[in-house]
Structure 1
Amino acid sequence: MIPPIPETLPPLASHIDGVWLKGDWHMHSRHSKDSSNNPQAKIIGFAEKMGFDYLAITDHDVHVQGAVAQHTWADPEFRSDTVLLFYGAELTACRGHINILSAEPYDHQRVFDHRDDRDWNILKLKQELAIHMSANHPSTKNHYGYSFDLADSVEIWNTSVWPKNVPGVRIWDDMLKSGRMLGARGGSDSHHGVPDTPEQITPLSIEATGNYVGTPTTWVFARSRSKQALLEALVAGRASVSSNPYNPRVELWADHDGDGVMDMMMGDNVKPTGRPVTFEVRLVGGGISGACYKVRVIKNRDDFGSFITDADTRSVQFIDTPATGERNYYRVEIEGPQAPYPEVPNSMAQSQNMVALSNPLYFNYDPSF
């Protein structure tokens, strides 16, 4: 079914009452069989040291036959006074991988036991358990093979190796083009801990120097500093992704009614007026001082144009007129010099020149689709 153009849309939510929070939605600890040198205390301690706000340790469930509550969650190291820790796991099944995320403990055993059910049965279970399902790395060998109607969000940036994500971003664009409003996130998918001593240096630990907590970093604009607010904002697409926490956060805004006020931010959905809309891309915090960044604008899966940010304001504007009788979405990708991540030094080369990307702004989308 092609979603209709809605006659009316809900009013825009506040852009003032909220807080930006940074973190990593996809991590593995020693409770994943294919992980090494990565106890939860090490992961969480690293996140605390780096000033992260939230973290999702999503160990594979297949190694423990679904019993993550008795392993990852029951580990006495699964605690923090400063980082919001999500209850979750990576559902590992024949049809691919899903990150299950929840603000509170839930019955993951039921999810694991029904992992090969038909999608409509899994959807009923998801709704019953009130959990968030996020499509993991949709274009890798362990791709997400379930219906995207199950997904509350999608991982479009997995690990620091940017080129491997290009096909997954195309899949996301396909979903957006089809009429879905699907929030995007990143996830380091880190399995191995950064070595602490020379004795810990192994091929796997060297791998960790290129990919660890925050490669990439997902920035979320939430109504409050709480786990439930973070999940709500992730579903709504009020987020952007940076290759590491030292790079700038990209924000995409628009003045949809022409009154000179930027009244739309990422995730917002409005009825177009038929008049030109001024869009603004802002780079906030971090990055390389004085650098100019390339802004690639994607409209409805196609290249709309490329622009260069001002070195002083670290922003750029562009104008377009969304048609009143059509759906349109706009998102941006930021290319330029990588900010050093001393704690994970080899991540810079693996991210190449991809610095950040945004969630879309929507026009005429049906939010019920």
Structure 2
Amino acid sequence: MIPPIPDTLPPPAGFQLGTWLKGDWHIHCRHSTDSTNNPQSRIIAFAERLGFDYLVITDHDVHVGGAVARHTWADPDYRSDKLLLFYGAELTAPRGHVNILSPEPYDHQRIFDARNARDWDLLKLKQDMGIHWSANHPNHKNHYGFSFDLADSVEIWNQATWPKNAVSVRIWDDQLLSGRMIGARGGSDAHHGVPDDPALIVPQTLEGSGNYVGTPTTWIFATSRDKAAILTALKQGRASISANPYNPRVEFYADRDGDGMMDMMMGDNARPSGGPVNFEVRLVGGGIPGAAYNVRVIKNREPFGEFITDGASRSLRFTDTPPADARTYYRVEIEGPQAPYPEVPNSMALSLNMVALSNPIYFNYDPEF
């Protein structure tokens, strides 16, 4: 039997040492006019109490004519001694919504004024500004309608309600199958108050009260605890998503050359050796003690197999041989009992049994995408 996996686990031998960091990539505060009773001070204090590492408030730029620097960023409450706070906004355009992300302040007005430009002009502008372009909620009434070749990452898990996200995951799979390597992330897209104070919940619905910071939570494996490293890891796909911060984090590794040492992790791309590849799935931290989780493996958009973790190790291995002459990707989805989220209890019902999912491990992909 594989020995039990502790709550904190170094990466397998051969990997550059890094650190796992958790946060939320999509939140609205009072500077979005469709946000109710959600000041920055309340959002940040909530994330700090839960031990989050990073956060970004992404208000709708259209609500302030693109001037997020004079509103969201200039708000004196946008500060923290515990969180790494990114600078960003939700580009709210006729062709859909995009989270623009940056470690430091940037000229958001430029991207807002160009929101209806052709995609190749937006690509040049993105590259010139050095910003991260993250496609928001592909399956949504305000779906993402720009080219996915613009996207550095994509939001496949938006809010706690899992059935709404399943189609976004399928859209992401379509892009992966086409040869694009697009890192996936989550984002709560929370607009309202928190459930521990019913007066702050608008509207008074299960979905309104079951969605807040960390529903879902995105885990990033970064080389260091700084904002530039986090965005680099997000673009690489060195990330996984959990329905809430108390659920286990899924880690996904592979032994490409069969030497018994894991030498790839999610986000990595390599040429296959021609022989069998051993894959390892680990569920680290959190979760329900002793619970068995179902691991569904997706290969090139199609189900490959389903496996059950045991309650002790919370890990498993499987083997496959990726072809030498074709692109192949593998990713995993974890189903099982939801860990209670006492601060946002209604999120458990919305997430159903979807606990977590990983980014892919790639073979024979073009690194330009």
| TM-score computed with the length of structure 2 as normaliser | 0.95
* 1:17 is aligned to 2:38: no
- Matching residue of 1:368: 368
Task: Please report how far the alpha carbon of residue 331 of structure 1 lies from its aligned counterpart in structure 2 after TM superposition.
Answer: 0.1
> Is the CA contact 1:209–1:343 (under 8 Å) kept in the aligned structure 2?
no
Give the aligned partner of residue 97 of structure 1: 97
The range that moved more, 200-209 or 316-325, is: 200-209
Separation in structure 2 between the aligned mates of residue 274 and residue 202 of structure 1, nearest angstrom: 56
Change (3 A) 1:324 1:54: same
Aligned to 1:238: 238
Matches within 5 A, 1:206-217: 207-217=207-217
From the superposition, tell whether residues 173 and 206 of structure 1 become closer, same or farther in structure 2 (CA, over 3 Å).
Answer: closer
The alpha carbon displacement at 1:54 in A equals 0.3
In structure 2, distance between residues paired with 1:205 and 1:66: 31
Rate the CA distance shift 1:269–1:193 in 2: closer, same or farther, 3 A. Answer: same
Task: Give, in whole Å, the separation in 2 of the partners of 1:201 and 1:177.
Answer: 40
Matched, 1:165 2:165: yes
* Cα distance in 1 for residues equivalent to 2:180 and 2:198: 49
Deviation at 1:203, TM superposition (A): 2.8
Cα distance, 1:136 vs structure 2: 0.2
1:218-248 deviations in whole A, cap 9, x for unaligned?
0000010000000000000000000000000
Going from structure 1 to structure 2, the CA distance change for 1:263 and 1:60 (only over 3 Å counts) comes to same
Separation in structure 2 between the aligned mates of residue 206 and residue 194 of structure 1, nearest angstrom: 12
Render the CA deviation track for 1:119-150: whole Å, top value 9, x for unaligned: 11111110111000000000111000000010
Structure 2 counterpart of 1:52: 52
Q: Residue by residue, what CA displacement relative to the aligned partner does 1:151-170 show, whole Å, maximum 9, x if unpaired?
A: 00000000000000111111
Q: Which residue of 2 aligns with 1:4?
A: none
Q: What amino acid maps onto 1:18 in structure 2?
A: G
Identity, in percent, stands at 73
Q: Tell me by how many angstroms 1:263 deviates.
A: 1.1
Task: Give the residue type in structure 2 aligned to 1:343.
Answer: E
- Contact residue 210 and residue 344 of structure 1 kept, 8 A: yes
14 and 100 in structure 1: CA distance in 2 versus 1, 3 angstrom threshold: farther
CA distance in 1, matches of 2:51, 2:142: 31
Quickly say closer, same or farther: Cα 1:36–1:322, change in 2 above 3 A.
Answer: same
The within-5 A match list for 1:39-188 is 39-188=39-188
Alpha-carbon distance, 1:16 to partner: 3.7
Assess, with a 3 A threshold, how the Cα gap between structure 1 residues 201 and 318 changes in structure 2: closer, same or farther: closer
Counterpart position of 2:350:
350
Alignment RMSD: 1.5
Following TM superposition, by how much is the alpha carbon of 1:200 offset from its aligned partner in structure 2, in angstroms?
3.8
Code of the residue aligned with 1:26 in structure 2: it is: H
Contact 2:329 2:360 in 1 (8 A): yes
* Structure 2 residues not aligned, in runs of 5+: 1-12
Q: Which amino acid aligns with 2:246?
A: Y
Matched to 2:302, the amino acid is: D
Instruction: Give, in angstroms, the shift of residue 194 of structure 1.
Output: 1.0
In the other structure, the counterpart of 1:6 is none
Q: Which digits, 9 at most, give the CA deviation of each residue in 1:59-112, with x for residues without a partner?
A: 000010100000000000000001000100000000000000000100000110
SS in 2 for 1:88: strand
Note the residue ranges of structure 1 that are not aligned, 5 or more in a row.
Answer: 1-12
1:54 and 1:112 map into 2 onto residues whose CA distance is 25
Q: Secondary structure of 1:144's match?
A: coil
- Counting matched residue pairs gives 358
Partner-residue secondary structure (3-state), 2:221: strand
SS in 2 for 1:149: helix
State the distance in 2 between where 1:165 and 1:290 align: 28
SS in 2 for 1:27: coil
State the distance in 2 between where 1:150 and 1:201 align: 36
Amino acid at match of 2:22: K
Which residue is equivalent to 1:252?
252
Residue 195 (structure 1) shift: 5.1
